[in-house]
Amino acid sequence: MALETKTNYGSISVSEDAVAALAGGVITECYGVVGMASKQVLRDGWAEMLKKENYARGVVVKKTDEGLEIDLYIIVSFGVKVSEVVQEAQKKVKYMLEKSLSLEVSAVNVFVQGVRTVA
């Protein structure tokens, strides 16, 4: 399903995968975020860290009446204050999506799937 926007010149259609890839790229640039995780935790409770080309697998985009709702599944760095990292990530993702797509983002939900040490 694509997100549609009407302008004076015609309509613009953005796929949900494109929105997910953009959100995944933005959140991985945030301080304290090691990477994206898969939406589904593996059997033993381990989160699979996704590579750059698979960021969309760690993002769920939902279109609601209020706007877009984004669910992000991330892995954070060991030793950081998780609440601060998540709050700043939410602000950055919301700002970049609204600026880039000119669509209202009603919620950015962040799910921390794991903590990793960075070597």
Q: Regarding the domain with residue range 2-116, which homologous superfamily does it belong to in the CATH classification?
A: Cation efflux protein, cytoplasmic domain (3.30.70.1350)
Domain ranges of the chain: 2-116
Alpha helices in 1-119 (DSSP H): 16-28, 82-101
Is the sign of the CA dihedral 1, 9, 6, 57 positive or negative? Answer: positive
- Give the pLDDT score at 44: 41
Judge if pTM exceeds 0.85. no
- Tell me the per-residue pLDDT of 38-59, one tens digit each, with 9 for 90 and over: 766 554 455 556 555 566 778 8
- Tell me the per-residue pLDDT of 61-71, one tens digit each, with 9 for 90 and over: 998 889 899 99
Asked if residues 97 and 90 have their Cβ atoms less than 8 Å apart, the reply is no
Asked whether residue 103 carries a pLDDT value surpassing 60, the answer given is yes
